[in-house]
Copies of this chain bind each other. A is one copy, B any other.
């Protein structure tokens, strides 16, 4: 998803650039470019991992397990931002492909670990560097300094927005 916003006030005669509306216009413009930037990068990333028959989300799970070792399904779920049904579905598929297996959790019998199989290890070890290079290339429109700046801004933005949606619950 991607939810592409469209807002663009391009009508002939704007009904007088209302006073407090500068703020809205600035915000709407940011929302548009945020969505487009995300979409463009995401498309690059997905095209990349698709070569190994993985979705971006599946790749995210393998990557998380690669960097963090075995994780509880719930941990992964929170990390990659999918629903409870989603994590079951995704892990099922990675199991079917032979890259991951489920393991009992000794301390909590409701929970299960996802663990990379040797085949999953081998795969992610092989493709992670390629993938990282692809992302670096995708973002190379910005210098490193600009990337750091963008990261700081987006982190601040994301945290505030996440807080807002937490309030909704």
Name the interface residues of A104-153: CB closer than 8 Å to any CB of B.
132-133, 135-142, 144, 146-151, 153
Given the contacts A2-B1, A156-B141, A157-B141, A41 and B47 also touching, CB distance less than 8 Å: no
Name the interface residues of A43-85: CB closer than 8 Å to any CB of B.
43-47, 55-57, 60-61, 63-64, 67-68, 79-82
Instruction: Tell me if A6 and B139 are in contact (CB < 8 A).
Output: no
Instruction: Tell me if B150 and A11 are in contact (CB < 8 A).
Output: no
Q: Which of A11, A23, A139, A155 has the most CB of B within 10 A?
A: A139
Instruction: Tell me if B24 and A133 are in contact (CB < 8 A).
Output: yes
Q: Kindly report how many copies of this chain are found in the complex they form together.
A: 2
Instruction: Tell me if A27 and B147 are in contact (CB < 8 A).
Output: yes
Instruction: Tell me if B162 and A46 are in contact (CB < 8 A).
Output: no
Number of interface residues of A (CB under 8 A): 78
Instruction: Tell me if A68 and B8 are in contact (CB < 8 A).
Output: yes
Does A158 belong to the interface (CB within 8 Å)?
yes
Instruction: Tell me if B8 and A45 are in contact (CB < 8 A).
Output: no
The residue from B10, B35, B39, B148 contacting A68, defined by CB atoms under 8 A apart: B10
Q: Which of A79, A132, A136, A154 has the most CB of B within 10 A?
A: A154
